[in-house]
Chain A
Amino acid sequence: MTRFQPAAPTRAICAGAICLSIVGGMLVGHAWPLWTGRDVIMTATVDGTRVWAPGEYVRLSTAAAVLTTGQPAADDAIERTPVRAVDPWVTPNPAERPNSINRQLRGKIIYVQLAPGAAGEHVPVSVSLRPVKDALNLRGVVTWALTSGELRVQYGIDAFYLQEGKAAELERVFREKRRVQVQVAIASSGRARIRNLLVEGVPVQ
């Protein structure tokens, strides 16, 4: 029996189709929250401008970027948002020193529950390893954790790309203490994407 051997042009087309399928899948996966998600507004801070091959962007930070499940230190310059740990959550190891690195949490997926604050903007209130029923869950990955309860989390809403040269303008606006907010679309899975950046309520793009 002769084995079916597709011709070289067919194989090249198949290779292209595989690449396009992967890009298409990533595109749909990433755009899904924008199509189906619920929009919320969060206060943002501009942490600086970065440039690399795919473009120039401003690094954004929200109240959900640095959390703490423990007692916030009063004499520290870093702003941590205190949140309640909801089961299931990691059990602290009493043998570990309080400010040592918690390697068990690094790279873990967590869900942060958001609730509207006094000004109508959403703020984190609790954190869990699983989505909490009937709550607005924001899915993130822990990039850094301490045994004291401090967590640094990435949600995929930490960068806003702009035309080259315009990121510096946005940084200046932020330094002038003008109100910068991020409009985030959150899917039912907790995945979030930036819909737009608002300066004094006006969309940037």
Chain B
Amino acid sequence: MDVLDATARRRISSRQLSWLERESRAWQESSLIDPAARAAILDRYTAISAERRAITAMTLLAAGMGAVGLLLLIGYNWDQIPRLAKLAIVIGAVAAAFAASAFAYARQRPGVAETLAFFGTLLFGNAIWLVAQVLHIEGRYPDAFLWWGVGALACAWLVRSEWIGALGAAIVLVWVGAEGDFTAHPSPVFVLLWPLAIGVAYSLRSSLMIRVCAPAAALWIFFGGTDNSHTAFWLGGIALVGCGLYGLGRWHEAESRLRRAWESSGLLVLLLAFIPLMFSEIHRGLAAGGVTPLLTAGAVVSAVAAGIAVLRPSRTPADRAVLGTAVAVAVWAVASWSGLFRQTSGFTLSATVLFSVLTLVMAVALIRTALLTDRAMDLGAGVAFALAFLAVRWASIIQNLFWSGLLLLAAAGSLLAVVRLWRGRAHAVAGRAS
């Protein structure tokens, strides 16, 4: 559970903290650091125990179930309760939850207070839906998510709660999907709401919020561009958004959790965009021209975000691969949009090969980065890219047992090689430590 001083201290796992305590004691005993320095170092970090995490999860689950229970009880819509009384119950529940939260804060019980505020935010969502029930409204349902999201983000920022922030970010993500379902036009409100959510995430130093909220940018381009799904700028734009999100991570310190969150979001978007782009049918169906201002703006902004990341130092193989991918995707999108090469028979094949190669390049670069920097996240992402490549290419030759067999044997061998390399890296690290 988030506490008010959480922004000042970095959260690490209990195992990392006990390692740091053990090692710093050894450094102190070897006179490398004095006790004051050791205390100052340890004071920079905090850990959440597994027990506390479990308690937090159960408390939040209870809050969620309580809110849904109240929603269903009011949803029963007992005729005996007058309309005004129903509104009073719904609104009173929100007021009571936040008043109790304030009381708990005043009594120096930040955990209880935050849970109550979380409960209040859920009840606030209930209230939005139940007002619709009381007034017989079946209206524009994405607006309910929009206002719930705005309120939740404001609450998260005010009570400094990462959990409420994550709830708000999830509601923003759902809102983007609901808007896409309701209308064919992308909502301009996103241009305000997304930076607001990201701003709250930075204010709370919450990587969880970034992870939930960052992919919403790609989802917005996805739904906003469905009318132009026949142009290369649609899937290309989404891939460039992935590169841009990854590029944003490079403006953070190497070990920053926020950097990890941007990078993992960008890689997820890139992977999801690459899967269809490895199929030749997709490229065959693309037509020249017909790009909306939204897709153009999204693609340009993302390409610029990825491009300016070049200016950052300490590049890893994964960084270079993402930047190379951004350039390749931009060139392909412009070439496809212009229609200059559309009549060329090899264009579809070249584009399919290009994205298959890019997926493999990403896989290799991420695995190399993992080995060089000892980051398991990069290893997982690299293997995910490799498996995506394998699945798509296997689908294209699944009728042919000979080639299918060879491909799977090669894949099995490569995967075992990666495992061996990763284990070797672990031994090397252990050797260096001893």
Q: For the complex, what is the distance from the CA of A16 to the CA of B75, rounded to whole Å?
A: 23
Q: Mark B68-111, 1 if CB is under 8 A from A, else 0.
A: 10011011111100000001001100110111011101100010
Contact across chains for B105 and A22 when beta carbons are under 8 A apart: no
- Which residues on the A side are within 8 Å of B78 (C-beta)? 163
Contact among B76, B90, B138 with A158 in the assembled complex (CB-CB below 8 Å): B138
Contact among B105, B131, B183 with A12 in the assembled complex (CB-CB below 8 Å): B105
User: A26-B128, A106-B184 are contacts. A12–B102 as well, Cβ < 8 Å?
Assistant: yes
Contact across chains for B77 and A162 when beta carbons are under 8 A apart: yes
Q: Mark A29-56, 1 if CB is under 8 A from B, else 0.
A: 0110010000000000000000001111
A20 interface residue per 8 A CB criterion: yes
Q: Which residue of B lies closest to A10 (CB)?
A: B102
Contact across chains for B102 and A13 when beta carbons are under 8 A apart: yes
Q: For the complex, what is the distance from the CA of A164 to the CA of B94, rounded to whole Å?
A: 24
Contact among A16, A57, A154 with B97 in the assembled complex (CB-CB below 8 Å): A16
User: A16-B95, A22-B124 are contacts. A27–B87 as well, Cβ < 8 Å?
Assistant: yes
Q: Interface extent on A, as a size class?
A: 35 or more
Residues of chain B at interface, number, CB under 8 A? 56
User: A141-B140, A159-B136 are contacts. A20–B103 as well, Cβ < 8 Å?
Assistant: no
Q: For the complex, what is the distance from the CA of A113 to the CA of B77, rounded to whole Å?
A: 34
Please classify the interface of chain A as helix (H, G, I), strand (E, B), loop, or mixed, using the class held by over half of its residues: mixed
Q: Mark A169-205, 1 if CB is under 8 A from B, else 0.
A: 0000000000000000000000001100000000001
B154 interface residue per 8 A CB criterion: yes
Contact across chains for A156 and B138 when beta carbons are under 8 A apart: yes
Q: For the complex, what is the distance from the CA of A103 to the CA of B78, rounded to whole Å?
A: 41
Contact across chains for A56 and B77 when beta carbons are under 8 A apart: yes
B190 interface residue per 8 A CB criterion: no
CB distance from B68 to the nearest CB of A (A): 7
- Which residues on the B side are within 8 Å of A163 (C-beta)? 76-79
Contact across chains for B72 and A53 when beta carbons are under 8 A apart: yes
Q: Mark A125-158, 1 if CB is under 8 A from B, else 0.
A: 0000000000000000101000000000010111
Tell me which of B113-121, B197-205, B245-253, B271-279 binds A. Answer: B113-121
Q: For the complex, what is the distance from the CA of A27 to the CA of B88, rounded to whole Å?
A: 12
CB distance from B246 to the nearest CB of A (A): 32
- Which residues on the B side are within 8 Å of A13 (C-beta)? 98-99, 102
B397 interface residue per 8 A CB criterion: no
Contact across chains for A161 and B136 when beta carbons are under 8 A apart: yes
Q: Which of A12, A159, A193: most chain B CB closer than 10 A? A: A12
B381 interface residue per 8 A CB criterion: no
Q: For the complex, what is the distance from the CA of A31 to the CA of B131, rounded to whole Å?
A: 10
- Which residues on the B side are within 8 Å of A164 (C-beta)? 75-77
B364 interface residue per 8 A CB criterion: no
B135 interface residue per 8 A CB criterion: yes
Q: Mark B241-271, 1 if CB is under 8 A from A, else 0.
A: 0000000000000000000000000000000
Q: For the complex, what is the distance from the CA of A27 to the CA of B137, rounded to whole Å?
A: 11
Contact across chains for A107 and B183 when beta carbons are under 8 A apart: yes
Contact across chains for B101 and A23 when beta carbons are under 8 A apart: no
Contact among B68, B90, B151, B183 with A22 in the assembled complex (CB-CB below 8 Å): B151
B129 interface residue per 8 A CB criterion: yes
User: A18-B151, A53-B71, A54-B130 are contacts. A8–B135 as well, Cβ < 8 Å?
Assistant: no
B213 interface residue per 8 A CB criterion: no
Contact across chains for A103 and B150 when beta carbons are under 8 A apart: no
B209 interface residue per 8 A CB criterion: no
A90 interface residue per 8 A CB criterion: no
Contact across chains for B159 and A11 when beta carbons are under 8 A apart: yes
Contact across chains for A154 and B140 when beta carbons are under 8 A apart: yes
- Which residues on the A side are within 8 Å of B136 (C-beta)? 57, 157, 159-161, 193-194
Contact among A19, A31, A156, A162 with B121 in the assembled complex (CB-CB below 8 Å): A19
Contact across chains for A30 and B77 when beta carbons are under 8 A apart: no
Contact across chains for B77 and A16 when beta carbons are under 8 A apart: no
User: A34-B135, A159-B137 are contacts. A9–B106 as well, Cβ < 8 Å?
Assistant: yes
Q: For the complex, what is the distance from the CA of A19 to the CA of B121, rounded to whole Å?
A: 8
Q: Which residue of A lies closest to B147 (CB)?
A: A22
Q: Which residue of A lies closest to B124 (CB)?
A: A19
- Which residues on the A side are within 8 Å of B105 (C-beta)? 7-9, 11-12
CB distance from B326 to the nearest CB of A (A): 30
Contact among B72, B77, B127 with A161 in the assembled complex (CB-CB below 8 Å): B77
CB distance from A20 to the nearest CB of B (A): 6
- Which residues on the A side are within 8 Å of B76 (C-beta)? 55, 163-164
Q: For the complex, what is the distance from the CA of A12 to the CA of B183, rounded to whole Å?
A: 36
Contact among A27, A54, A193 with B75 in the assembled complex (CB-CB below 8 Å): A54
CB distance from B199 to the nearest CB of A (A): 16
Q: Which residue of B lies closest to A164 (CB)?
A: B76
CB distance from A53 to the nearest CB of B (A): 5
Contact across chains for B106 and A16 when beta carbons are under 8 A apart: no
B133 interface residue per 8 A CB criterion: yes
Given contacts A30-B131, A161-B134, 10 further A-B contacts (CB under 8 A): A8-B110, A8-B159, A13-B98, A16-B99, A22-B147, A26-B131, A27-B131, A57-B136, A154-B139, A163-B77
Q: Return the 8 tightest CB-CB contacts between A and B, nearest first.
A: A16-B98, A107-B183, A159-B138, A8-B105, A12-B102, A19-B124, A15-B155, A9-B102
**Mind listing 9 A-B residue pairs with CB under 8 Å?**
A15-B121, A18-B151, A54-B129, A104-B184, A107-B182, A107-B183, A154-B138, A156-B139, A163-B78
